[in-house]
Chains A and B, each alone.
Chain A
């Protein structure tokens, strides 16, 4: 059996059909790898060995009977632990859901089960997907596979690290302000944030409903495209989801790609950005020029206000979405059951003891910005700013087809470096947040393959932002970039 370090979805599928290995062998090999490697990385919160083996065996039976199987069949995946898989834990890395077992499959999981994919386990995240380092997980901090003294990024740090450390072929994450793209950038893998409404959120534990999207994390852009194709589409259980007419997601044509003009927004090429990041992104631009692509400088003047607006309306949405975790409907009720303990006492104790610091901070902040007397100055103001940020993008996309920017101002930072300073942590997302306000798709792609990183060099990602429903543009450029 060839080294599974090189396995992509495509290579796995070809090997499976050529009977080089069985799906069960590969699944078992991944569990062996996880048991050895994850002691060091802490990417997984729980493993699903018995159900994964059954899922893999079903694919092997189909192959043995010469039944036609899809390209995703038998592919071992890691799933972020805020996405429900029936009968498996779904903790969202929160104490309050420590003992919760999902009663149904998320919409995206239903789609992937139809494709006969194999679910290895559930991956670590910042509690309820709120953070940029997985340090807000109630259970553990995921380490960066390229340097275990550094963070894997967040909030989908477990999913990104699992793929980067060869503990899954690919993964699903969720992105509210950068939670797929920033960890992908830090860990040297590909991460796609789809257009708002492209993918169902049914069965995904809600954080900020006007922004949350589920998307793939993978080793190659092609793999990300294959997974995206499988999860995209309307789900009656998510009223914001819709069917888009996607074409050429996995089969881009160079003549189409060459027609695209790439915008370089001034506000994303700023002095505060790490030298290595700035240099790597320059190299990417030169490489894409060699493909024949045209570039144009543009401006998104309200960029600097996006972060403040985001951190006003996101906590507002959080304070509403997290209200259900009260020790009655979810969680273990805290406090004694003696007579005299009121329902209110149980709420106060449960939330006080079982929510982490960032959850409490956002709930309190959200309660504040929504409260009478402050609503206009904060919440409504932020929503007006959101309109301005969206208009910037509308304007830019009249001149250009895609935008190219860095993903994060720095490579992966040290564990603990920003843990006590929430504002510093929020500022990690300055390049990934603005497009979310406009509901746009964006992808993070490593500037270099993992194999070509020098000893001690940290991965860096670049970001391509597309027009709404134009995932094919950014996935297409990405697929050609990887071939250069």
Chain B
């Protein structure tokens, strides 16, 4: 039988992804994911034991760049997009609970 995702599993996945779902969304998601996972079943018929996985899009080999000074392109301006700042510091909500 095709894989399905239960409500409890969905809650766990949503927690891992840090997404708060409302109950109506949950029902639709469970249904949609069941349909999509059922479609994936066709892959089971394929024997891939001896096939190596393809891990990316490129045939290029990794190389190291020269360890020299580089101009920084956007530090400063990049921080302008930050939602809140105060006296030159970026403001974030509290991380530690009291």
CB-CB nearest in chain A for B40: A308
User: Do B53 and A384 touch (CB < 8 A)?
Assistant: yes
- Asked if B1 is an interface residue, CB under 8 A from chain A, the answer is no
For A351, what are the chain B residues with a Cβ–Cβ distance below 8 Å?
A: 17-20
User: Do B14 and A364 touch (CB < 8 A)?
Assistant: yes
User: Do B60 and A240 touch (CB < 8 A)?
Assistant: yes
User: Do A332 and B83 touch (CB < 8 A)?
Assistant: yes
- Asked if B32 is an interface residue, CB under 8 A from chain A, the answer is yes
What string of 1s and 0s marks CB contacts (under 8 Å) between B1-33 and chain A?
001010001100110111111100100110011
For B81, what are the chain A residues with a Cβ–Cβ distance below 8 Å?
A: 100-101, 103, 330
For B25, what are the chain A residues with a Cβ–Cβ distance below 8 Å?
A: 357, 360
A331–B5 Cα distance when bound, in Å, is: 30
B7 to chain A, nearest CB (A): 13
User: Do B94 and A343 touch (CB < 8 A)?
Assistant: yes
- Asked if B88 is an interface residue, CB under 8 A from chain A, the answer is no
B76 to chain A, nearest CB (A): 9
Known contacts A196-B58, A371-B13, A381-B48; is-contact A355 B19 (Cβ 8 Å): yes
User: Do A305 and B20 touch (CB < 8 A)?
Assistant: no
Known contacts A343-B94, A383-B53, A439-B58; is-contact A364 B40 (Cβ 8 Å): no
- B33 contacts which of A342, A365, A374 (Cβ < 8 Å)? A365
- Asked if A378 is an interface residue, CB under 8 A from chain B, the answer is yes
A323–B74 Cα distance when bound, in Å, is: 21
B75 to chain A, nearest CB (A): 9
Number of B residues whose C-beta is below 8 Å from A? 52
User: Do B83 and A342 touch (CB < 8 A)?
Assistant: no
Q: Sort chain A's interface into a size bin.
A: 35 or more
Known contacts A308-B39, A351-B20, A361-B32; is-contact A197 B51 (Cβ 8 Å): no
For A196, what are the chain B residues with a Cβ–Cβ distance below 8 Å?
A: 57-58
Main DSSP-derived SS at the A contact region? helix
For B35, what are the chain A residues with a Cβ–Cβ distance below 8 Å?
A: 422-423
- Asked if B69 is an interface residue, CB under 8 A from chain A, the answer is no
Q: Which of A138-190 contact B (CB under 8 A)?
A: none
Q: Which of A354-405 contact B (CB under 8 A)?
A: 355, 357, 360-361, 363-365, 367-368, 371, 374, 378, 380-388, 390
Query: Total contacts A to B, CB within 8 angstroms?
Result: 156
A383–B54 Cα distance when bound, in Å, is: 5
CB-CB nearest in chain B for A332: B83
B28 to chain A, nearest CB (A): 8
A166–B66 Cα distance when bound, in Å, is: 47
Task: Choose among A304, A312, A367 the residue with the greatest number of B CB atoms under 10 Å from its CB.
Answer: A367
Determine, out of A27-35, A284-292, A333-341, the stretch whose residues face the partner at the interface.
A333-341
For A339, what are the chain B residues with a Cβ–Cβ distance below 8 Å?
A: 94, 98
User: Do B80 and A103 touch (CB < 8 A)?
Assistant: yes
CB-CB nearest in chain B for A197: B58
Q: Which 3 A-B pairs have the closest CB atoms?
A: A352-B20, A383-B53, A384-B48
B residues lining the A interface (CB < 8 Å): 3, 5, 9-10, 13-14, 16-22, 25, 28-29, 32-33, 35-36, 39-40, 42-43, 46, 48, 51-60, 62, 65, 73-74, 77-78, 80-83, 92-95, 97-98
A residues lining the B interface (CB < 8 Å): 100-101, 103-104, 196-197, 209-211, 236-237, 239-240, 242, 302, 304-305, 307-309, 311-312, 319, 323, 326-333, 337, 339, 341-344, 346-349, 351-353, 355, 357, 360-361, 363-365, 367-368, 371, 374, 378, 380-388, 390, 422-423, 426, 437, 439
What are some 10 contacts across the A-B interface (CB < 8 A)? A242-B60, A307-B39, A330-B81, A348-B18, A355-B19, A364-B19, A381-B48, A382-B43, A383-B55, A439-B57
